[in-house]
Amino acid sequence: MDSAMEELGKKVGGCFAESMGSVFSMLTGRDFAITPKEGVLVDHAGITALYDGPAVYAKVQYTKGMTGPMLFAMPLREGTMLVDLMLGGDGAPSEELAGDSKDALAETINQSMGSANQALSDMAGETLSISNVEIHASTEAGQSMLEELLGPGPFFDLPLETTQESLQALIHVLIPDLLSEQMKRKLGFGEVAAPPPPPEPVGAPEPVVSQAPAPAAAPRAAAGSSAPMGAPVDTGNLDLLLDIELPLMVRMGQTEMPLGDLLKLTPGSILELNRAADAPVELLVNGKQIAKGEVVVVDGNFAFRITEIESTANRLRSLA
């Protein structure tokens, strides 16, 4: 395995280990330790040999920034134990994963991917997005099933050693070769270094230094040098960014609840938010608050009336 793949394994494995450890601990209320191991290349046969018994697979699909599937694999027994802990149990194993348990595991992987993707997006300098998580439980992971889920190999296998007081398991992150190549490019691993400049020829004549008087400074340069200290920065280039679309959200409030309560929600359920009825509503752009106001109705549609707003300079800084 080349050095670029090793570096990719350390970075990506570390992101997933940190995000999954944080999400697992938050959802179960118990301490999880997840340690990334050295990545290896495997084929379909190698994936089927990861576990002796039944396994559960969580598939995600990159849809923005990169394209291609990724698979999380874990033993079915430990997967059901993890879900039982998340639903408030003591970590009892089950022979199958269905219903609320399946939904709970999908939401767990989805949150873990969201956290890890944020770190990967920061490293890549652009947004990386995925589709909803799909859960596949199988007593036998045959080659045809794996080909349907992941496509052709080989695959980069990143093992994550997962340890909790009553649960120990290896969770494998399986990345197809085409996706791992995209990751290397996006994260800047394996780029070819620019060749060094050619050496100076031996015995080359020294350049002749002109003794001509220096030309007078151009009027534009002179004007620039006479500008007072602290003059406003030229924002002419800002026009190039004005057509960029940014997500805008009106937030009335927020709350937190255990995953078990979330899965019990039905039509008619009421969620109490952390905001008084007469408190202003927040306007967020790209996830950052820039204004406050109130919700109104215009021509039968909800609308937002601004009552407070940051200055233009503050808004630009907050969106940087």
Nearest to 56 by CA among 116, 122, 139: 139
Determine the Cα–Cα distance for residues 31 and 207; give it in Å rounded to an integer: 69
Query: Over the stretch 48-90, which tens digit does the pLDDT of each residue have?
Result: 888 888 889 999 999 888 998 899 999 999 999 999 888 888 8
What's domain 246-253+275-320's architecture?
Roll (2.30)
- Please list the ranges in the chain whose pLDDT falls under 70: 1, 139-143, 190-243, 316-320
Token duo for residue 241: 């960014």
Spatial separation of the C-alpha atoms in residues 151 and 138, rounded to whole Å: 17
* Under 8 Å between Cβ of 87 and 99: no
* Segments of the chain assigned to CATH 3.40.1550.10: 3-187
Tell me the residue type at 237: N
Report which residue type is found at 35. T
Q: Thinking of the domain 3-187, which architecture would CATH place it in?
A: 3-Layer(aba) Sandwich (3.40)
Q: Given strand 281-285, what is the order of strands in its sheet?
A: 248-251, 281-285, 288-298, 301-309
10 Å CB burial of residue 81 (0-12, 13-18, 19+) is buried
CA distance 172 to 47: 9
For residues 82 and 93, what is the distance between their CA atoms, to the nearest angstrom?
Answer: 8
pLDDT at 239: 62
The 3-class SS string of 192-254 reads CCCCCCCCCCCCCCCCCCCCCCCCCCCHHHHHHHCCCCCCCCCCHHHHHHCCCCCCEEEECCC
**Model-level pTM?**
0.61
What integer pLDDT is reported at residue 240 of this predicted model?
57
* Cα(88)–Cα(55) distance, integer angstroms: 23
Beta bridge partners of 180: none
What pLDDT score does 227 carry? Answer: 40
Express each pLDDT in 268-281 by its tens digit: 788 888 877 778 88
- Six-digit token string for 270: 């009421």
Q: How far from the centroid of its chain's Cα atoms is residue 318's Cα? A: 21
Domain with CATH 2.30.330.10 in the chain: 246-253+275-320
CA distance 24 to 163: 11
For residues 187 and 65, the answer to whether their CB atoms sit within 8 Å is no
Are the C-beta atoms of residues 102 and 136 closer than 8 Å to each other?
no
For residue 143, give every residue at least 6 positions away whose Cβ sits within 8 Å of its Cβ, in sequence order, or none.
44, 45, 48
